[in-house]
Protein backbone atom coordinates (compact mmCIF):
# COMPACT_ATOMS: atom_id res chain seq x y z
CA UNK A 1 0.00 0.00 0.00
CA UNK A 2 1.41 3.35 -0.96
CA UNK A 3 -0.29 6.52 0.15
CA UNK A 4 1.86 9.45 -0.84
CA UNK A 5 2.55 12.50 1.31
CA UNK A 6 0.33 14.84 -0.71
CA UNK A 7 -2.61 12.48 -0.34
CA UNK A 8 -1.95 12.07 3.39
CA UNK A 9 -2.00 15.84 3.81
CA UNK A 10 -5.25 16.15 1.86
CA UNK A 11 -6.93 13.53 4.03
CA UNK A 12 -5.61 15.09 7.24
CA UNK A 13 -6.91 18.50 6.18
CA UNK A 14 -10.27 17.06 5.14
CA UNK A 15 -10.57 15.40 8.57
CA UNK A 16 -9.40 18.62 10.26
CA UNK A 17 -6.67 16.55 11.92
CA UNK A 18 -9.30 14.60 13.87
CA UNK A 19 -9.94 10.90 13.88
CA UNK A 20 -12.88 10.46 11.49
CA UNK A 21 -14.50 7.91 13.80
CA UNK A 22 -14.15 9.24 17.36
CA UNK A 23 -13.03 12.81 16.52
CA UNK A 24 -10.07 12.75 18.86
CA UNK A 25 -7.27 15.12 17.90
CA UNK A 26 -4.11 13.87 16.26
CA UNK A 27 -2.18 16.62 18.04
CA UNK A 28 -3.26 15.22 21.41
CA UNK A 29 -2.28 11.70 20.41
CA UNK A 30 1.09 10.18 21.27
CA UNK A 31 1.40 8.65 17.81
CA UNK A 32 0.49 9.85 14.34
CA UNK A 33 -2.85 8.64 13.11
CA UNK A 34 -3.16 5.94 10.53
CA UNK A 35 -5.09 5.81 7.27
CA UNK A 36 -7.94 3.37 7.23
CA UNK A 37 -9.45 1.86 4.10
CA UNK A 38 -13.24 2.23 4.15
CA UNK A 39 -13.50 -0.71 1.77
CA UNK A 40 -10.59 -3.05 2.53
CA UNK A 41 -8.11 -3.69 -0.26
CA UNK A 42 -8.90 -7.38 0.02
CA UNK A 43 -12.43 -6.50 -1.13
CA UNK A 44 -11.28 -4.31 -4.00
CA UNK A 45 -10.80 -1.06 -2.08
CA UNK A 46 -8.40 1.46 -3.57
CA UNK A 47 -5.82 3.92 -2.21
CA UNK A 48 -7.96 6.81 -3.49
CA UNK A 49 -8.80 9.70 -1.20
CA UNK A 50 -12.47 8.77 -1.04
CA UNK A 51 -11.69 5.28 0.20
CA UNK A 52 -9.41 6.47 3.01
CA UNK A 53 -10.21 7.86 6.43
CA UNK A 54 -7.93 9.33 9.07
CA UNK A 55 -8.17 7.05 12.10
CA UNK A 56 -6.50 6.94 15.50
CA UNK A 57 -4.89 3.65 16.44
CA UNK A 58 -7.76 2.65 18.67
CA UNK A 59 -10.37 3.14 15.95
CA UNK A 60 -8.24 1.60 13.23
CA UNK A 61 -7.90 -1.53 15.36
CA UNK A 62 -11.61 -1.54 16.00
CA UNK A 63 -12.44 -1.22 12.28
CA UNK A 64 -11.26 -4.76 11.66
CA UNK A 65 -14.22 -5.98 13.65
CA UNK A 66 -16.58 -3.73 11.66
CA UNK A 67 -15.16 -5.13 8.46
CA UNK A 68 -15.82 -8.65 9.67
CA UNK A 69 -19.45 -7.67 10.11
CA UNK A 70 -19.98 -6.10 6.70
CA UNK A 71 -22.69 -7.90 4.81
CA UNK A 72 -21.83 -7.90 1.13
- Taking the complex as a whole, the smallest distance from the CB of residue 27 to Zn ion amounts, in Å, to 13
Nearer to Zn ion, 21 or 35 (CB): 21
When the beta carbons of 29 and 51 are compared against Zn ion, the nearer one is 29
Binding site for Zn ion (CB under 5 A): 19, 21-22, 56, 59
How far apart are alpha carbons 72 and 60 in whole angstroms? 21
CA 11-33-60 angle, 5° bins: 100
Question: What's the CA gap between 10 and 69, in Å, rounded?
Answer: 29
Query: How far out from the chain centre does Cα 63 lie?
Result: 9
In whole angstroms, how close is the CB of 34 to Zn ion at the nearest point?
10
Cβ nearer to Zn ion, comparing 4 with 58: 58
Amino acid sequence: MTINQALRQRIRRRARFLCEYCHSSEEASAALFTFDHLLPQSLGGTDEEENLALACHRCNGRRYHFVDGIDI
